[in-house]
Amino acid sequence: MKKRILLTALAGFAAAGIGFAQEQLALQDYLSQVEQNSAEIKSVNLAIDSAVNKTRELDMAYSPYFSAAASYAVESGAGFGSALPAKEMDVTAWNLGLSKKWQTGSTLTLGYSDTSMMFDLLYPTAIIGPEKLSSFTGYEVKPSVKIEQSLMKEFLGGQSQSAVNKAKSLNRAGIYGLIFKKQQLLLRARLAYWSLSLSREVVAFRKTSLDRAQELLKWSENRVSLDLADRSDLLQAQAAYKMRQLNYQLALEDEVKACRVFNELRGSAAETVEQALERISDAPKKYEGLDSIRCNGERADLLAAKEVLKGAQYAQKEAFKRSGPELSVFGTASLKGLDLSYSGALQQISDADKPAYAVGLVFFAPIDFKVVSRVRKAYKSDYESAREALGKTELSVKNDWDELFRTWKNVKSRVSLAKEIKDIQSERVAVERDKSKRGRTTTFLLLNSENDLDDATLNEYRLIFEELNINAQSELYCTTPVE
């Protein structure tokens, strides 16, 4: 009774294990696990996110800025430059500013300054009006507006805009490099998935082949024991059985290796994979009727090379502007309140009775023309180098795609042919086994048909894996541009 209960429990555990093993893990679900758990991919994703956010920082060159400054100074004794005969002077000053720059080269600055000055004079002096003072506090308040316009370096997207565009292009080139690295990691994960699926199919096939070899061995042993066959037939059957044992063992070892790689990519050190996978033998059905592999974008390394060229172009323009002359015009308008009371100073500003205006031109130019020429030539060389590198990358990508597409067409055709060959070999084995039961064939011919079936089956699996590999590589050509 106890034995029956134990057997029932073991059968229940086995059924539960089979049910768990049959839980299928689809390819896309596995790739999601890899992306979530792979430390390397998480590192790349963080680097991409960081680079994207750093790109936004570059636009801050044209963001409004607020500035504030405060100072306190004490001066004792009269100086030769003093307007008043002061024993001591305390000055407290506040300066506030709001500035905005545009891509046109225009800069607008709103300023406000507030200064209070405490004087202790050597002797009473008339400051404002006839009354003489020896100690007093004066207030000076001054709002202002200043407009500057660059006419050469910054006009209509000059030096600063070129510097921003250069940094953005080089930053995007780095992002494409990270994207390409991530794509390579996911490509490796795809191949790990199909490698494990392939190894499982090979294990199942090797087990079936081993079982057939065992049947042949038993049949040969019986025939030899009844003196119906030569001992050499038995030796052939024994050698075939041992060979299939070896092949089955190697297939199991390959499956363990594939499981380790499979689990490592999703952040696990386990040597087994409990979930069922998509069968590699069913994969060709996905591509039936397709005339081409996917190419919905460009390869990331090509996009990176294009951004490097843009960056070199902007860098050349920036260097040309930076090393060239500059002519700018500015205009300033301000109001000023100066009084012995703070309210009096503000009243003067509100009355606008003391305005001040200024306009001017500023010009400067480098005169070391030899150095300027060399610098510009260096940046031009960088641009030519980037253009040549882009041409090489474009040619390489085109050739790689053409070769990938040609190989895919050939492999797709070979997969179909390999399946037909395997079906023929399977039928041949069935015929030979039937003839063997009726004594109409030899052990050599039977084993030869079994070996040919093994080769045909494995060849079909190899070609299917190659087709899947090509389809995975085609994903590299579907990169969309980064905004």
pLDDT digits (tens, 9 = 90+) for 253-310: 999 999 999 999 998 888 899 999 999 888 777 766 666 677 778 899 999 999 999 9
By C-alpha distance, which of 321, 435, 319, 463 is closest to 382?
Answer: 319
Q: What is residue 15's predicted lDDT score, i.e. its pLDDT? A: 39
- How many CB atoms are located within 10 Å of the residue 398 CB? 11
Is 214 part of a structural domain of the chain?
no
Is 254 part of a structural domain of the chain?
yes
Give the model confidence (pLDDT) of 26-58 as tens digits.
999 999 999 999 889 999 999 999 998 888 888
- How many CB atoms are located within 10 Å of the residue 293 CB? 21
CA distance 145 to 141: 14
Give the model confidence (pLDDT) of 155-175 as tens digits.
877 888 899 999 999 999 999
Give the residue, 383 or 78, on which the prediction is more confident: 383
Positive or negative, the Cα torsion across 304, 305, 310, 311? Answer: positive
Place of tokens 């070892």: 253
Clarify whether residues 73 and 182 are in a common domain.
no
Amino acid at 138: G
In the predicted structure, residue 9 carries a pLDDT above the cut 60: no
- How many CB atoms are located within 10 Å of the residue 27 CB? 17
Place of tokens 């191949």: 191
Query: Residue 337 forms beta bridges with which residues?
Result: 141
Q: What is residue 16's predicted lDDT score, i.e. its pLDDT? A: 39
Residue 480 is given by DSSP the state P
Clarify whether residues 357 and 407 are in a common domain.
no
Query: What is the residue-averaged pLDDT of the chain?
Result: 86
Clarify whether residues 105 and 187 are in a common domain.
no
Q: What is the residue range of 73's domain? A: 67-150+330-364
CA distance 323 to 375: 8
Clarify whether residues 259 and 392 are in a common domain.
yes
CA distance 417 to 31: 31
Give the model confidence (pLDDT) of 331-344 as tens digits.
999 999 888 888 88
Strands 24-25 and 276-277: parallel
Q: Judge contact between 470 and 293, C-beta under 8 A.
A: yes
CA distance 331 to 360: 7
Supply the CATH number for residue 179's domain: 1.20.1600.10
Clarify whether residues 429 and 460 are in a common domain.
yes
Clarify whether residues 85 and 134 are in a common domain.
yes
State what percent of residues in the chain have pLDDT above 90.
48
The set of residues, in sequence order, having a beta carbon less than 8 Å from that of 389 and lying 6+ positions away, is 305, 308, 309
- How many CB atoms are located within 10 Å of the residue 242 CB? 12
CA distance 447 to 460: 20
Amino acid at 169: S
Clarify whether residues 44 and 133 are in a common domain.
no
**How large is the C-alpha radius of gyration of the chain?**
42
In the predicted structure, residue 427 carries a pLDDT above the cut 70: yes
CA distance 317 to 164: 12
Is 319 part of a structural domain of the chain?
no
Clarify whether residues 141 and 188 are in a common domain.
no
Clarify whether residues 180 and 41 are in a common domain.
yes
Give the residue, 482 or 108, on which the prediction is more confident: 108
Clarify whether residues 31 and 177 are in a common domain.
yes
Is 179 part of a structural domain of the chain?
yes
Query: What total of structural domains would you count in the chain?
Result: 2
CA distance 115 to 129: 21
CA distance 243 to 451: 11
In the predicted structure, residue 10 carries a pLDDT above the cut 60: no
CA distance 97 to 86: 31
Which pair of structure tokens corresponds to residue 200? 């499982």
In the predicted structure, residue 5 carries a pLDDT above the cut 50: no
CA distance 396 to 98: 52
The set of residues, in sequence order, having a beta carbon less than 8 Å from that of 309 and lying 6+ positions away, is 383, 386, 387, 389, 390
Report the pLDDT averaged over residues 314-326: 91
CA 20 vs CA 195, 261, 266, 276: distances in Å: 21, 21, 19, 9
CA distance 283 to 191: 13
Report the pLDDT averaged over residues 362-387: 92
Least confident range from 173-177, 226-230, 335-339, 434-438: namely 226-230
Is 303 part of a structural domain of the chain?
yes
Which pair of structure tokens corresponds to residue 290? 């397709």
Least confident range from 116-125, 420-429, 458-467: namely 116-125
Place of tokens 């980037």: 386
Is 210 part of a structural domain of the chain?
no
Least confident range from 61-65, 133-137, 359-363: namely 133-137
Clarify whether residues 339 and 360 are in a common domain.
yes
CA distance 55 to 165: 10
Q: What is residue 157's predicted lDDT score, i.e. its pLDDT? A: 73
How big is the CA angle at 409 (ends 407 and 411), to the nearest 5 degrees? 65
pLDDT band at 21 (very low <50, low <70, confident <90, very high): very low
Clarify whether residues 396 and 472 are in a common domain.
yes
CA distance 421 to 442: 23
CA distance 186 to 182: 6
By C-alpha distance, which of 393, 401, 193, 192 is closest to 294?
Answer: 401
Is 238 part of a structural domain of the chain?
no
Is 33 part of a structural domain of the chain?
yes
How big is the CA angle at 94 (ends 92 and 96), to the nearest 5 degrees? 175
Q: Judge contact between 422 and 460, C-beta under 8 A.
A: yes
